[in-house]
Amino acid sequence: MVDFVVDAHKGLSFRTFEALAYQKKLITTNKEVMKYDFYHPNNIFVWDGKVLDGKQVKAFLETPYQRIDDKIVHKYSFEHWICKVLDISNHASF
Protein backbone atom coordinates (compact mmCIF):
# COMPACT_ATOMS: atom_id res chain seq x y z
CA MET A 1 0.00 0.00 0.00
CA VAL A 2 1.14 3.55 -0.65
CA ASP A 3 0.19 6.63 1.36
CA PHE A 4 1.07 10.26 0.66
CA VAL A 5 0.70 13.07 3.20
CA VAL A 6 -1.72 15.79 2.09
CA ASP A 7 -1.04 19.28 3.47
CA ALA A 8 -4.69 19.80 4.43
CA HIS A 9 -4.69 16.61 6.53
CA LYS A 10 -3.06 16.14 9.93
CA GLY A 11 -2.43 12.78 11.52
CA LEU A 12 -2.51 9.34 9.98
CA SER A 13 -4.70 8.31 7.07
CA PHE A 14 -7.09 5.35 7.04
CA ARG A 15 -4.63 3.66 4.69
CA THR A 16 -2.20 3.35 7.60
CA PHE A 17 -4.79 1.57 9.74
CA GLU A 18 -5.88 -0.64 6.84
CA ALA A 19 -2.29 -1.76 6.31
CA LEU A 20 -2.06 -2.59 10.01
CA ALA A 21 -5.36 -4.49 10.07
CA TYR A 22 -4.62 -6.50 6.90
CA GLN A 23 -0.93 -7.03 7.73
CA LYS A 24 0.21 -5.31 4.52
CA LYS A 25 3.36 -3.35 3.97
CA LEU A 26 3.02 0.42 3.69
CA ILE A 27 5.14 3.02 1.93
CA THR A 28 4.31 6.48 3.26
CA THR A 29 5.61 10.03 3.31
CA ASN A 30 4.15 10.54 6.80
CA LYS A 31 7.04 10.59 9.29
CA GLU A 32 4.59 10.77 12.20
CA VAL A 33 3.87 7.06 11.81
CA MET A 34 7.26 6.32 13.38
CA LYS A 35 5.96 7.64 16.74
CA TYR A 36 3.25 4.96 17.07
CA ASP A 37 3.51 1.66 18.93
CA PHE A 38 2.61 -0.33 15.80
CA TYR A 39 5.50 1.08 13.75
CA HIS A 40 8.07 -1.44 12.60
CA PRO A 41 10.58 -0.71 9.80
CA ASN A 42 9.92 -4.14 8.26
CA ASN A 43 6.29 -3.13 7.75
CA ILE A 44 6.37 0.60 7.09
CA PHE A 45 8.81 2.35 4.77
CA VAL A 46 8.92 6.09 5.46
CA TRP A 47 9.85 7.81 2.24
CA ASP A 48 11.31 11.32 2.42
CA GLY A 49 9.86 12.24 -1.00
CA LYS A 50 13.23 12.27 -2.75
CA VAL A 51 14.16 10.02 -5.64
CA LEU A 52 13.84 6.44 -4.49
CA ASP A 53 16.58 3.90 -4.88
CA GLY A 54 14.90 0.83 -6.33
CA LYS A 55 17.20 -1.36 -4.26
CA GLN A 56 15.84 0.16 -1.03
CA VAL A 57 12.24 -0.50 -2.02
CA LYS A 58 13.05 -4.01 -3.24
CA ALA A 59 14.84 -4.83 0.04
CA PHE A 60 11.89 -3.45 2.05
CA LEU A 61 9.35 -5.46 0.06
CA GLU A 62 11.40 -8.65 0.34
CA THR A 63 11.84 -8.33 4.12
CA PRO A 64 9.28 -10.48 5.96
CA TYR A 65 6.35 -8.67 7.56
CA GLN A 66 6.78 -8.35 11.33
CA ARG A 67 3.55 -9.40 13.04
CA ILE A 68 2.25 -6.78 15.44
CA ASP A 69 0.75 -7.80 18.79
CA ASP A 70 -3.02 -8.38 18.52
CA LYS A 71 -3.72 -5.97 21.39
CA ILE A 72 -1.97 -3.16 19.53
CA VAL A 73 -3.79 -4.00 16.28
CA HIS A 74 -7.12 -4.02 18.11
CA LYS A 75 -6.35 -0.66 19.72
CA TYR A 76 -6.34 0.91 16.22
CA SER A 77 -9.22 -1.14 14.80
CA PHE A 78 -12.48 0.32 13.52
CA GLU A 79 -14.36 -1.74 16.13
CA HIS A 80 -12.38 -0.17 18.98
CA TRP A 81 -12.71 3.31 17.50
CA ILE A 82 -16.48 3.13 17.03
CA CYS A 83 -17.00 1.79 20.57
CA LYS A 84 -14.91 4.65 21.91
CA VAL A 85 -16.79 7.27 19.86
CA LEU A 86 -20.18 5.85 20.90
CA ASP A 87 -18.99 5.47 24.51
CA ILE A 88 -19.71 1.75 24.57
CA SER A 89 -18.05 0.56 27.76
CA ASN A 90 -16.67 -2.75 26.50
CA HIS A 91 -14.20 -1.09 24.13
CA ALA A 92 -11.46 -1.41 26.75
CA SER A 93 -12.12 -5.08 27.44
CA PHE A 94 -9.78 -6.51 24.79
pLDDT on residue 74:
92
Taking a C-beta distance cutoff of 8 angstroms, is the pair 5, 29 a contact? yes
List for the chain the helix, strand, coil content (%; round to 5).
45, 10, 50
pTM: 0.83
Segment-wise mean pLDDT, segments of 10 residues, the chain, 94 residues = 81 92 96 96 92 88 96 89 76 51
pLDDT on residue 92:
53
